[in-house]
Structure 1
Amino acid sequence: MMKERVTTPKRAKSTVIGGLVLGIIGVVGAALPTLAQVNTSVENLALSDRSPVDVILYLISWFLGILALLAVIFVLYGGFVWLTSGGNEEKIETAKKILKSGLIGFVIIMCAWGIVLYLIGVFSDATGTGTTGSDGSRCIGCSTPPGGSSSFYVRSHTPAAGATDVVLCTAIQATLSEDVDQSTVTDDSFYLQIDGGAADGESCSTNASCASSVCSSSACAGNHVPAEIQFGPGDSTSTIVLVPDNDYEAGVTYLVTIEGSGDNIVMSEDIDGDEVDDRVAMDLDYTWIFSTGTETDDIPPQVQENGSSPFPADGETNVCTNTTINFDFSEAMLASSFDDDVAFVVDAAGTESAPTNPDWSDPISLSGWTFGGNYDYASVRPATQLDDYSNYSSRLYGGDPDDDLSGGPTDMCGNPLDGDSDGTAEGDTVDNYYGYDPDAGESEEPITWTTGENSECTPVITSVTQTGYFYGEDANLREGEACTSNSECASGSCSAGFCSGYGDTDVAVTGLYLTPHAEVEFTGSIIYSAEDLNTCFDEDYLGNVLTNISVGDYCMDEELQTSSELYSRIPVGSGDSNVIVTVAGESSEAATDQVDVQSPHITSLYPSDGAVGQYVTIIGEHFGSTTGTVKLRSADGTKESTVELPEACG
């Protein structure tokens, strides 16, 4: 009896301790699999496309992961020995020593990892580099400003970087890759200055000597050119506008700044739609310069009539109930002058069998406003689907003749629309497009078209084929450009001193509803079907980069695009891509056929900033093993240099 009473507590004690060991093993085991799965993976070393500091960090992570895995094995083995000891005191003591050694080892490994992170953090702080990437991932030494993101950047702007002889009255506008939080667009985050001008309070003799262009009582007043911030149409927009209070100074260079990172301009929507505010700013400030001439602009803009404008065309039938509605213009237009109440309206006009005249008093809500890289067209879609088999009219407003022709769309200098293309802006109703001449007894004849029953007119890609594999191939002279030989022309045909026709392009996209004004998205960049949005190389400029996308060569010839076929060269910055086509805010599914891009492609630099003489690691793909040329350009596009790589360092 006594023997049983002694043995039973020992077994109970062994069972309880064994249960505790299993609990410890469970907790440690739950905590460590992720570490082992992630950090011991040889694939995650990524030696070919990581910065040196990242490589070191991955090696340390991999090594400590192995040690942590060994510690777990020790704990598991100790627990196994204890649980199978059968009450044998010698085995229990052995198991305790194994468990103790394993747990101590695990604690040491965790402490070592913490020390490594601390030391690297100290190093990062000392060198001015960050320890967290823009997507929240750890990025030791990546120099990414807090909250910055390479997915949020300037896509287009006017005036262009380095532009000269800019008219004295023009506004400034830029379009970002995502809609902006308008409350963050202020005169501290989006502003204009005279380049190199004196700061507020410094002495001056002329307005042109001050950054603000305001010299008052021999002292500069302010640091920014006085201007009004405006926005593109709609409840949300990606287009921001700066309208100076006065004309520019003649023959002066101006600097435009859109500030990135921190508390500056951020996107309006959360990245993943959850309740956490993870909106981001641009990685870096975006700046560019332009120089004024001596002329102003008082010529009113006109509507351009072609296959894409007006769209749908007057009298067209069987129009999709989610159709794009588009007008092209003779010059860049001020995005903030458009709205769907008065300036650019669509209204019901009965049915085909019982047409009525639109009264424009209750126009249809529009969404998906886009203006292109040149801001010389306006495309929208109905905010809700239109009725089947119904008439609709679209109209541009010529402006209120009793209020300085206000209320209608204007060009960048505020000139109202010349809807009847007679060279003079006269306002409503003469210059409504279509308008009429009341003196001739004519009635207003708005553009009218009829819907069918099809509601699906989102772009669809059926196939993608390519004839070239490098950035900007077939970049010879275009249709209508001067030439002296056939070989100078992309088409191979030089006739009477001018190129005739168009040549092969790198990528051909076939499908449905691909116009008007498609945006073709490659991995890393977006290109427009418009001339002069320069996302490709030319002889003088780099092309599409996030710090300045307006200097280079255009990738798509507008004349080549149809509703079923698009043709493009490969834009600078692209990687292997399953392209996406977007028209007036509606995007296709990604193409199943992948575009194979074999040009050298830079994915990142390390470090992202530093003093003159700083060594820079260029990270990317397709660099090859032979010596090549790296072309460097200042952020404003005005200074360039080249270096032959690989270079012997040290």
Structure 2
Amino acid sequence: MLSLAFFFVLLSPALALEVGVEEVSEEIELGETDIRIIIARIINVFLGLLGIIALLLILYGGFLWMTAGGVPERVEKAKKVLINAVIGLAIILTSWAITWFIFNVLLGEGGVFGPPGERPTGPPPTYESFSSALGNGIVDYHYPPRGDTDVPRNTKIMVTFKREMLIESIIEGYDDNDTPLDTSDDTSSELLNTDNIKIYRTADGEDAHLREDQVRVRFTDDLQSFVFEPGEWLGSASEDVSYTVTLGPGLTRADGEDAFQGALSDGYQWNFEVGTFVDVTPPRVRSVFPVAGEEYPKNVMIQINFNEPIDPTSATGHSSRFTNILVEGGGVVLGSFAIANQYKTVEFIPDEACGTNTCGGEVFCLPGGVDIDVTVRAATMRSGEEPAAVFPYNGIVDMAGNSLDGNDDDTAQGPPDDNYAWSFSTSNNVYIAPPGVDSVNPGPGESGVAPDLPIDITWDVLMSLSSMNGANIMLGDNRTDDLSVWYTLDSDSLAEDGSPAEGGIPPHHTKTSIRHGIFLEETQYYPEIFSEVKDVYQNCFSPAATRNCPKDRSGAPWCCDVAPSSSRTAGSCLGIPTKER
């Protein structure tokens, strides 16, 4: 049974919105016993009671027989009672056997009460080993996704972590000169550290992993996204080939701590399947915000959405040295470009602080009262190998290294013809108003929901997708063991009518999907949305507002932050467990 609703908790120091299942007074929980099992158990209890009655009738018939004293009428009565009772018992046993068979077919080997003998002590069959670090641990998202198929042979492999990573634990021969966060004095290398990261054909086993010199490794300025580019195309031209990527327990964060800790200390692993084709289709810009020709408050962020994942090393950096995307307003606007949303979105946040939001966090602004020009550059291509771009990239490229098709004519021409440019203007105003959730799916009280159905959160405004990460939106559960299902976030910009914002249709609001592994049986799940989530004006999600929990809390005592507490061990959210972010 699956249902969905919202309530709120004050965590130190951030507010959190929780989405759960099975609405019970103030707490919502997702996932209790399967309704089919409940029905089967009710039927079994009913048939059991009938069986007891039949046995009592047999005993009664036997009593009549033994006390008949040879009187024909009393003997005949005893026979009828015994015959009817035995027939009834036979019908009951047959009904029970048919019911047992049908529900075992519907529910699998576990049946209604599970298999005979001792219950298995290992993980449930739907649990994916070495997967929990995605979302629950250090791994935010990666490409190709888990279980992806028809991946182009010329793809790159990418991983984005939630924290800055120690480069030396990922790149063999790299020396950060004891300044892990400062790369200016580093001795560089591009060799794969195969002690900690292994890429191999699944059928060949881990020992057949690509060697350190068969993969070129690069990373983004924030030391969180790493690109692994095989020297040769993956797979085969004649058959699909499955690959495995293993991130080992030796990976280290930039602060010196182990990347995989506690129950996740064994690392992370995923598979994907490579097809027989090569990707020669250039990426396109799907939508942008702010919209061309309109005026916006100066604290607006610039958001560029692509139709496919792009190489983060071609699309991120600080504008003082990064020129693949230009933001100009009377000169180059200083700020940073960040990758987000499964590598499909780039956002620009300026450096100039201009106020605070409702959480007290700093808000940054573009120059006010000016025209802002944005240019997304295509990359120079290799002669005779179009649309493949020359490395190092001087423009945007996709996961196969194809240059941007900025004019959307299905052909890559390179710069300047394929540059994507637009302009908007800013006012001197700063817009401060928190975003809210408009709807969720599955909805409150909904049952019969598939255990792999994504949880969709539709916002009432356009959101900052770089704030939508596994640290700010989490999938909690009430399990006492270490079996957490993996999860990752994927967002879409939608038009006002809910259709995709593309083809020149301006984006109006955002839908965020929590994609996850198969939910485990008899487990309560409650997605949490923390106040660090922001809209495109850098307004934080506080007060967290939904249709169930309005911004005016006076009439909504079920919203947990009516009585703020520093943790979920006290206050109105007593007993709801949480995970460390």
TM-score, normalisation: structure 1: 0.45
Higher strand proportion, which one? 2
